[in-house]
């Protein structure tokens, strides 16, 4: 099967992405060295662009790792803006805190240790931009937990809409086509999420074919 996300697309997107800095370079090197999953600079640049496009003031992340995506988004926020990072791994959250501080963005970041779906209940919103990047079989639960905090014009972006280690692209495509397949829980979770945002009349959704695929949903009503 042809690669659903050709390398040439990623190459050109990286060439057009905003320039990184020493902190991003160090995080990229760590990702390469450890095989740590990040969105990568092409998607990072798009997340920053989306934040600017909606004039984001508040951002919520379901799953933040060591702060890679939050670091890309932070420069697009005003000085009194806020990005909420959530992470179940305390050491990774500490690394995220150090990375955001190194870039001078700690004052616009909040660091929450624990389950992101439980954490978002502690916030009233609104959130102008939401990034869903937690366990793939819980994407729909994350969307349902945050849906009402997203205002008209706000965006929900979900990473790994096409690819990730445990995902089977053909199974995702089959579930979306209404076929009865024995998909693994992660693949089925992604497919169910995509079905939900596709069919939700309050959102319009399109695929950003970069990285491992990002489903971008904008609230229209």
The answer to whether residue 188 is domain-embedded is no
Q: Is residue 206 part of a domain?
A: no
Domain CATH for 34: 3.40.50.150
Q: Does a structural domain hold residue 202?
A: no
pLDDT of residue 203: 98
Residue written as token pair 């397949």: 181
Q: 214: part of which helix (H) or strand (E)? A: strand 214-219
107 falls within a domain: yes
Do the domain assignments include residue 207? Answer: no
User: Number of structural domains, the chain?
Assistant: 1
Cα of 165 vs its chain's centroid, Å: 16
Determine which helix (DSSP H) or strand (DSSP E) holds 219, and give its type and residue range: strand 214-219
Inside any domain, residue 85: yes
The three-class DSSP label of residue 205 is strand
Mapped to the 3 state alphabet, what secondary structure does 107-158 carry? Answer: HHEEEEECCHHHHHHHCCCCCCEEEECCCHHHHHHHHHHHHHHCCCCCEEEE
The confidence score (pLDDT) of residue 177 equals 74
Contact 102, 25 (CB under 8 A): no
Q: Any idea how long the chain is? A: 221
Rounded to whole angstroms, the Cα distance separating 190 from 219 reads: 20
pLDDT tens across the length of the chain (221 residues)? 445 556 666 666 666 667 778 999 999 999 999 989 899 898 999 999 999 999 999 999 999 999 999 999 999 999 999 999 999 999 999 999 999 999 999 999 999 999 999 999 999 889 999 999 999 899 999 999 999 999 999 999 999 887 666 666 777 777 777 777 777 787 888 889 999 999 999 999 999 988 888 999 999 99
- Regarding pTM above 0.85, the answer is yes
Selection from 164, 127, 156, 123 nearest residue 140 by Cα: 156
Tell me the residue range of the domain where 14 lies.
Answer: 7-155
Do the domain assignments include residue 209? no
Q: Which two tokens stand for residue 7?
A: 């390398």
- CB neighbours of 35 closer than 8 A, spacing ≥ 6? none
């Amino acid at each position: 099967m042809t690669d659903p996300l050709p390398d040439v697309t990623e190459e050109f997107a990286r060439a057009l992405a905003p320039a990184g800095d020493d902190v991003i370079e160090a995080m990229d090197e760590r990702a390469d060295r450890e095989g740590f999953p990040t969105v990568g600079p092409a998607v990072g640049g798009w997340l920053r662009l989306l934040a600017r496009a909606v004039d984001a003031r508040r951002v919520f992340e379901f799953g933040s790792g060591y702060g890679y995506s939050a670091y890309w988004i932070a420069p697009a926020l005003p000085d009194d803006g806020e990005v909420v990072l959530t992470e179940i791994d305390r050491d990774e959250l500490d690394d995220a805190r150090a990375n955001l501080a190194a870039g001078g963005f700690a004052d616009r970041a909040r660091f929450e240790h624990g389950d992101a779906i439980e954490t978002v209940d502690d916030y009233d919103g609104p959130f102008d931009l939401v990034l869903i990047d937690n366990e793939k079989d819980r994407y729909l639960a994350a969307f349902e937990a945050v849906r009402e905090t997203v205002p008209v014009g706000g965006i929900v972006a979900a990473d790994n809409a096409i690819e990730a280690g445990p995902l089977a692209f053909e199974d995702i495509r089959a579930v979306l086509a209404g076929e009865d397949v024995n998909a693994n829980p992660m693949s089925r979770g992604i497919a169910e999420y995509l079905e939900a945002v596709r069919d939700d009349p309050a959102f319009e959704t399109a695929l950003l074919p970069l990285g491992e695929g990002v489903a971008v949903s904008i609230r229209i009503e």
